Structure 1
Amino acid sequence: MRRPKKVDRLSSLLEDIQSHILSLMPTKFAVQTCVLSKRWRYTWMSITKFDFDDIPPLGFSSLETFVDRVLGSCKSSQIESLRLTFFGYPVQESSVSNWIDKAVTLNIRELDIQYQFFELPSSLFTCTVAQHPQS
C-alpha cells in the first residue's frame, strides 16, 4: 500500500508570510530553518524582527560572530525591532555599539537592550524616525 505524499504547506506560503512567521521566533531558531531545504536556505534573511539572547546557537563559537553574521546578511531595508539581552554571556561593548549602528542604518523602529552598564552610541540619537506605510 502506498502512503500519500505529504504536502509541505509552510513552503507554499508567500515569502512575506514565511518571513513574518520566522520573525515571531527567537532569531537563532529562525536562522536554523536554513537547513530544512534549498527553498528555506535564505528565507531567514528577510526577517524584520531580531531577538538575540545570551546563548550562542550551535555551530557558532561566539555570540558576537552569530549576531554579526545575521545582521550583516539582513536583506530587509527596515528592521521592525532588535532585542539584545546579554546578562550571562560576556559581550564586547564595541560589538553592541556596532549592532546598534547597523540597526540604525537599517531604519530600526524599536530597540530593546538588556545589558549591564552600557553607553549608547551617538548614532542612536541622530537617526530619523521611519514612517509605517499606510495599509
Structure 2
Amino acid sequence: MAEDNLTAGVRVPSCRYDRRCKIKGEVDLISSLPDVILQHILCFIPTKLAITTCLLSRRWRYVWCDTPSLSFINGSTLNAALYYKTQDRYTAPKMMDLNIRAREIHHIPQLNSWIELAMSRNVENMSLKIVANLLDKYDIPEFFYINTSVKQLTFEFYYANMIPIRSVSWISLKKLSLRCCSLSDESLAKFLSGCPVLESLTLHLCDELRVLDLSKWLRLRTLHVVRNLSGPDPMQIVAPHIHRLILRNSQFPCTLVDVSSLRSFVVILFRCSSLLFLLL
C-alpha cells in the first residue's frame, strides 16, 4: 500500500489540516482535535479498530501510533501479521494499559513480545487472559517477574497452574487480581512476597487455596474472595490489616482467624437462584 512507503515519522500537523479544511469549506471538528485527545478516544476501542483509522485520511495516518493503551481482547486478532504491523509503528514512549486475550498456542510468541514491549514502556495497568485452549501450555516468561512500573495487574488463566519459577519483584503493584488460577497456598505466598505496597487483592475462583495468610502485608486494605458454588474445601483467612472484606458465593465453611482491623464486611450468597446479601 502507498501508506507503507511513507516514513513513519511523518505527521500532518493539525494546523495545516485546519487551513486545508477552511479552504475547501469543510467542517471536520473531530479531525481538528489535538492528537492527544484523539489518542485518548482510541483507547476505548480494540487496537485493531484503532489501527484502521489510519485509512481515514493523511491526518489520521499516524494518530494511533502514540495511543497509550492497547487492547487485543479478541483472541483472533492476536496474530503475527497484526503484531508486526503494530509493533513496527507503535511509538508511544509511555504505555498506560495493555489488555490481551490469547486463546491459541500460536498466540504465545506475540503475547510474550507484547508483555516485553509493555514493560519496556513502563506499563502501569496490565490484564492477561489465557483461555482454555492453552491450559498447561503457557508459562509466564521469566522477565515478567521483575517489574518496577506495574500498579494494577490481572491474571485470568482458567485453571492453568501458576507456579512462579523465580523470585517475584513487583515493587509498585497496588492492585492484584487472580481469576480462575490454579494456586496453592505456597504459590500465592511467593507471588505476594514481591508486592510490598499491595493495597487490594482479588481471588476469583482460586479454589485450591486453604490458608490465606496476609498478615505480612501491612498496606493491604481490600480483600475480595469469590468461591465456587460446588462446595470447595474450607478456607482460613488471616488478614489483620484489611479494612474491607467481600466474600461471594461463600456458602463454604470459612474461618476468619484474624481480621482485627475490619471496618466493612460484605457477604453475598447465591442459594437456589435467590440472592442473600449481608452487610456488616
Q: TM-score range by the shorter chain?
A: 0.7 to 0.9
Contact 2:125 2:150 in 1 (8 A): no
SS in 1 for 2:148: coil
User: 1:68-107, aligned counterparts within 5 Å?
Assistant: 68-87=84-103, 89-107=104-122
User: 1:40-79, aligned counterparts within 5 Å?
Assistant: 40-52=60-72, 53-56=74-77, 63-79=79-95
Identity rate, percent: 25
Q: Deviations over 1:19-38 (max 9, x none)?
A: 10011111011000000000
Distance 1:98 1:27, change over 3 A: same
**Which residue identity does 1:107 align to in structure 2?**
N
The alignment status of 1:114 with 2:129, answered yes or no, reads yes
SS in 2 for 1:28: helix
Contact 2:126 2:150 in 1 (8 A): no
Contact 1:104 1:123 in 2 (8 A): no
Tell me how far 1:76 sits from its aligned partner.
1.1
Tell me how far 1:90 sits from its aligned partner.
4.4
Q: Deviations over 1:84-121 (max 9, x none)?
A: 1122x443423321221111111111111111342111
More strand by share: 2
SS in 2 for 1:25: coil
**Which residue identity does 1:11 align to in structure 2?**
S
Contact 2:43 2:69 in 1 (8 A): yes
When Rg is computed on C-alpha atoms for both structures, the one with the higher figure is 2
CA distance in 2, matches of 1:65, 1:110: 25
Alpha-carbon RMSD: 2.2
Tell me how far 1:130 sits from its aligned partner.
6.7
**Which residue identity does 1:123 align to in structure 2?**
F
**Number of matched residues?**
122
CA distance in 1, matches of 2:124, 2:142: 16
CA distance in 2, matches of 1:15, 1:31: 14
**Which residue identity does 1:108 align to in structure 2?**
V
Unaligned runs of 5+ in 2: 1-24, 152-280
SS in 1 for 2:71: strand
Which of structure 1's runs of 4+ aligned residues deviate more than 4 A? none
| Deviates further, 96-105 or 62-71 | 62-71
More helix by share: 1
Q: TM (normalized to structure 2)?
A: 0.40
CA distance in 1, matches of 2:87, 2:143: 17
CA distance in 1, matches of 2:98, 2:150: 15
- For CA contacts below 8 A with separation 6 or more, give which structure has more relative contact order: 1
| Deviates further, 63-72 or 22-31 | 63-72
CA distance in 1, matches of 2:55, 2:142: 38
